[in-house]
Structure 1
């Protein structure tokens, strides 16, 4: 029996690990609120008289503190218990969403107050995102990473199928405050579950500043990592600016408003579920190349809405985009966890996160300004074109094809990760 076969027999499924089940449950609970939150936030801004410009300010304010504190979060994730960081970060997010629900529900919401709550949520994300990067590596066997990454996403994606539709109905009937309040409650429950993971802190050697310097050297030495991050800077900004900012605005102008936008988000989530199921069965050899190609599916719903296609075609495009995105995320996460040592995952994840988020505030603001000059549909097509062009350029990087699934699990035997 091969080493890989022996390991697979020893670890047949990550769901047999109690800590992994707890981690999956925490993600599921949090997803029930997060599935409704973007729609509720958008219509909270629209409800108090704001348009694309006001929504752009709110979304940019949510992103800026994440960028500002992400490196700090990455260093802490490689020095302290990741479960404790996730606990505190989720509590902070609960406070932010709870206050937001209160001011929206009492009719005291303004663009400034909504943006202030978003700023607090952005700080929480800066600490939880890098910590979450290293959890799977600490609780499952290396050869089960792709399955574990898919299983972590599966329950949350399933919730997102109905979550936006239900959220759209709640917003249409009762207003956005109820959906925001539920999101706050789910953060509290997730925090309690995550502290129960009791993950050991990574062994820290040297100062935090030295860790940061070492992290930057490691990030820059991995060409596949920084080029993928650079491409993500454009792709993520164009997708969020087009979908999250202009999507609800275009839905309000040309479709049936919150109800149609909820259906589009539900279709996208249905695609995410299908993509997760694909990843449970399909294990591509060229992990990073597949991640790049399948991520380009985000062009489809932006293009469909930009061309003014009927809602049924937009829904089909959203499903296909969801399939591609989830395959992309699972393949990318598996490659990242396989080629970066566990003790560096927080910092590498932080550098990657900063890179992918860096252009988001500018994308929101630029898109909001452009939407004031050109029709929203035209701006959506520009966003789709930016994603397509960036994907082609990223596929021209030779190192993208060197990040492959390892046929022999040397890490399982020696504790070392493969070097591309």
Structure 2
């Protein structure tokens, strides 16, 4: 899910007892408690500062990677087909590894998981850089990309769960907002830096810089020193398979979670298909490449602004406004189909950036507040897995639909359906009543 993820040692989670149903999100029972940190001040924690430093370095490198990889592969192969194959070789294993990553991140210390996966991602990216710089056989990129995808798939669930280990109360939203600000800054500056580096010394060296960023991030994560996870109860299942089943049982029993995931499954398929596939095609015949770049930049600026504001802004019951704003984030798809000028499309993209980042911070805060800490990574893995799986379907089906119904019809209809999908979860009463910062001030 785009949407689009932590302090001093925690007291073990006080979630619902193992022999009864999980507490509903509006229950008085707190799933997470913390000590040793004034709530709302995550930057006072050395562990969070190391995590933020590692994430900042890693995000900067990852933001450079798509541009560097694209030009690096094209420089070696002169083939768009090879670029597509290399990209897919990383994407499929990443999605496939998400659920396993959730089980690992809830079973072992998340700082250790992040350290090892970052180290693995750095080594595989270094291998990709070597293949590109040495102009070796392009087929060697495939296993390296696949391994890199696996490491990143194992990383994502740990990132979703670790904030609750490093922040408490209002500090959870502030921590999520700070991380989102870093992420959005990297998204704005990273591609430009990758373009300059690629143009000056080549895409292979830009990929090498990304590899170094992973290794430096691993060194930062190694300094966090989180406590070991609390011991497992005997009836919760001591095997990895048993714990994965427990994560699915919790995810599937909470309508406030799976309805949002389902909504994003629809939204992601339509948004990625229309925006990423049709967007450049429509822009090429209307506002041009420079106009499309302005639109994408406006969206990034909106996302950055929202993440900065969310450090201080709190909404007691945030899910209704967050999902309503996400419905507005589908408006650019409709405007693409209508064929508006650059100014209107950029303005809509700016609002979309604000809306999507507002939702991302809210969702991370709600999940870290209301899901038991010991289940966070497994539930987060299901959230991301089921919302990511439809993306290739949307991307592959969009050209077929365009051939049958036309570009404008697909863009406008896709935008309308995506907007409605975001509003459907609001039919769940427990979702509308969810509060944040109930367990800390």
Normalising by structure 1, report the TM-score. 0.83
Deviations 1:56-113 (A, max 9, x none): 6555443322232222111111111111111121122223333334444555675x66
Equivalent in the alignment of 1:231: 263
Which residue is equivalent to 1:192? 219
8 Å CA contact retained: 1:134, 1:342 = yes
Deviation at 1:175, TM superposition (A): 5.2
Quote how far apart the aligned CAs of 1:239 are.
Answer: 2.7
Which moved further from structure 2: 317-326 or 288-297? Answer: 288-297
Unmatched 5+ residue regions in structure 2? 1-34, 233-237
Alignment match, 1:272: 303
Structure 1, unmatched stretches of 5+, are 1-6, 414-420
Tell me which residue corresponds to 1:416. none
Do the aligned partners of 2:270 and 2:394 also contact (CA within 8 Å) in 1? yes
Name the SS for the 2:311 alignment partner. Answer: helix
Task: Specify the alignment match of 1:35 in structure 2.
Answer: 63
Q: Do residues 330 (structure 1) and 330 (structure 2) align?
A: no
1:156 aligns with 2:183: yes
- Asked if 1:222 corresponds to 2:250, the answer is no
Deviation per residue, 1:234-287 (Å, 9 max, x gap)? 222333334445545655676654x66654443322111111122123211222
Q: Secondary structure at the match of 1:282?
A: coil
Bigger Cα displacement from structure 2, 140-149 vs 174-183: 174-183
Deviation at 1:309, TM superposition (A): 3.6
RMSD of the TM alignment (CA)?
3.3
TM-score, normalisation: structure 2? 0.79
Distance 2:408 2:122 in 1: 35
Q: Partners of 1:379 and 1:57 in 2: how far apart?
A: 26
Aligned length in residues: 401
Which of 272, 284, 288 aligns to 2:319? It is: 288
Alpha-carbon distance between aligned partners in 2 of 1:208 and 1:287, rounded to the nearest angstrom? 34
Shift of residue 145 of structure 1?
Answer: 0.9
Distance, in Å, in 2 between the alignment partners of 1:42 and 1:386 is: 32
Counterpart of 1:347 in structure 2 is 378
> Compared with structure 1, are the counterparts of its residues 10 and 392 closer, same or farther at alpha carbon in structure 2 (3 Å cutoff)?
closer
Task: Decide which structure has greater helix share.
Answer: 1
Aligned to 1:142: 169
SS in 2 for 1:285: coil
Q: Give the 5 Å matches for 1:290-305.
A: 290-305=321-336
Residues 68, 155 of structure 1: CA spacing in aligned structure 2 closer, same or farther, 3 A cutoff? closer
Which residue number in structure 1 is paired with residue 208 of structure 2? Answer: 181
Cα deviation code 1:93-143 (max 9, x no counterpart):
223333334444555675x66555443232112211111122111122223
